[in-house]
């Protein structure tokens, strides 16, 4: 990963904000900028220097597993940011990622740095993180390859009697077996539970006739995958087929609407209109997709955002009907000048299938 380029890009952003320094407190942004993956620390950047301030638990990691920064080590939990900034002197302007700094921390900094103007900059690093380079895309593609393979392997285990929580555990196990750095998350929702968009797996056992909605991802070299597929166990009803095929058509329409310069509203509308025209508009109750990389971040596929080549986004429409269940289909891909290049290749049949039926 080209951490030197990323720090240079943040310095250019600092110049645009007319500040002499920046404090990055968000964990994913710190890892993006210098490779540090610890749970405690801040990155302090000036026009000439870059300090990673952390404590003794991470002294070795800060020295050996970072690029482009000088470690500053203090006692556990000690607030080190004011010390790193004090030499700037009165009258300096310092940007901070206000979406990650508590009010209590901000007041502490203000008291310790009289005469320094602390400038809130929500999403300070997001514009830099939004456009993926080749190394990032390769890492995400490998994470997706692992997830795709695990989806194929889990098919034989989605059977009556299997519990949601055990299937979720198996997804984690299989991803690690196939080379994931870490298991990301797993939503396994069966029967009526599939009507909850972000269901937490329970001990409920899969039954014949159930929708089974599976949304999961892993981490590879710091970067995430994200995949959702929905199957039916046993024979599907006409209502289930109608719901699934509507979501499928919406997902295809959403992917087709993606290109550099498209707005999140335009892409969302392309998918959402398919669902609304089928009479399920009120049952699609979340955004169409989100940005992804080391973590979720902009641009998202909703009003207020414009897509650019190199963005990594999900397209994931869904329909959720209380009592019946729900369907979601999701792919992660890269925005190009002319379209959407999916990183997910797990089977995505146009008709509702039983587990493994499409193979």
Q: Which of 272, 310, 273, 275 is nearest to 289 (CA)?
A: 272
Structure tokens at 143: 């994470």
> Could you give the C-alpha distances from 287 to 141, 187, 239, 291, 340, in angstroms and in order?
23, 17, 24, 12, 18
CB 333 within 8 A of CB 260: no
C-alpha closest to that of 278 among 241, 315, 232: 241
Are residue 213 and residue 90 in the same domain, yes or no? no
Indicate the angle between helix axes 238-256 and 264-277, nearest 10 degrees: 160
Of 81, 100, 129, which residue sits at a domain end?
129
Considering the domain architecture, whether residues 119 and 160 belong to the same structural domain is answered as: no
pTM above 0.85, yes or no: yes
Average pLDDT over residues 2-31: 96
**Residues 45, 147: one domain?**
no
Start-end of H helices in 18-154: 27-34, 59-64, 81-85, 103-112, 126-129, 134-154
Does one domain contain both 218 and 335? yes
In sequence order, the 6+-apart residues with CB closer than 8 A to the CB of 338 are: 259, 260
For residue 254, give its domain range: 134-342
Q: Is residue 199 part of a domain?
A: yes
Give 163-213 pLDDT, tens digit per residue: 999 999 999 999 999 999 999 999 999 999 999 999 999 999 999 999 999
Residue 18: both structure tokens together: 């007319």
**Residues 318, 249 within the same domain:** yes
Residue 4 has pLDDT above 80, yes or no: yes
At 26, is the pLDDT very low, low, confident or very high (cuts 50, 70, 90)? very high
Q: Which residues share a beta bridge with 50? A: 45
Q: What is the mean pLDDT of the chain?
A: 96
Residues 98 and 238 both lie in one domain: no
Examine residue 12 and state whether it is found in any structural domain, yes or no.
Answer: yes
**Which run of H or of E encompasses 164?**
helix 164-177
pLDDT digits (tens, 9 = 90+) for 214-268: 999 999 999 999 999 999 999 999 999 999 999 999 999 999 999 999 999 999 9
User: 19 Cβ partners below 8 Å, 6+ apart?
Assistant: 93, 94, 95, 119
Instruction: State whether 258 and 314 are in the same domain.
Output: yes
Tell me: do 96 and 233 sit in the same domain: no
- Total domains present in the chain: 2
Asked whether residue 51 is assigned to any structural domain, the reply reads yes
The CATH number covering residue 310 comes to 3.90.230.10
CATH assignment of the domain containing 76: 3.40.350.10
C-alpha to C-alpha distance for 184 and 291, rounded to whole angstroms = 16
């Amino acid at each position: 990963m080209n951490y030197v380029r990323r720090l240079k890009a943040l310095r250019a952003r600092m110049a645009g904000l007319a500040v002499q320094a920046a404090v990055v407190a968000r964990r994913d942004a710190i890892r993006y900028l210098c490779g540090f993956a610890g749970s405690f620390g801040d990155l302090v950047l000036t026009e000439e220097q870059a300090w990673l301030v952390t404590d003794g638990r991470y002294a070795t990691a800060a020295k050996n597993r970072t690029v482009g920064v000088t470690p500053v080590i203090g006692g556990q939990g000690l607030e080190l940011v004011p010390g790193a900034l004090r030499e700037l002197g009165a009258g300096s302007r310092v940007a901070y990622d206000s979406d990650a700094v508590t009010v209590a921390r901000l007041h502490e900094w203000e008291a310790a740095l009289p005469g320094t103007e602390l400038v809130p900059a929500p999403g300070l690093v997001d514009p830099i993180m939004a456009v993926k380079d080749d190394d990032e895309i390769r890492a995400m593609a490998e994470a997706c390859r692992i997830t795709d393979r695990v989806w194929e392997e889990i098919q034989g285990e989605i059977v009556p009697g299997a519990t949601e929580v055990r299937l979720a555990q198996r997804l984690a196990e299989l991803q690690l077996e196939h080379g994931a750095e870490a298991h990301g998350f797993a939503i396994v929702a069966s029967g009526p539970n599939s009507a909850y968009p972000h269901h937490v797996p329970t001990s409920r056992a899969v039954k014949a006739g159930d929708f089974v909605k599976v949304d999961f991802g892993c981490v590879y070299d710091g970067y995430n995958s994200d995949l959702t597929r929905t199957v039916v166990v046993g024979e599907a009803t006409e209502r289930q087929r109608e719901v699934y095929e509507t979501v499928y058509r919406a997902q295809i329409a959403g992917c087709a609407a993606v290109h550099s310069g498209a707005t999140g509203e335009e892409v969302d509308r392309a998918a959402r209109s398919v669902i609304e025209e089928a009479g399920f508009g009120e049952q699609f109750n979340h955004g169409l997709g989100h940005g992804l990389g080391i973590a979720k971040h902009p641009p998202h596929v909703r009003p207020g955002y414009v897509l650019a080549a190199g963005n990594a986004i999900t397209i994931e429409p869904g329909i959720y009907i209380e009592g019946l269940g729900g369907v979601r289909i999701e792919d992660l891909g890269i925005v190009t000048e002319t379209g959407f290049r999916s990183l997910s290749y797990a089977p995505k049949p146009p008709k509702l299938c039983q587990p493994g039926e499409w193979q």
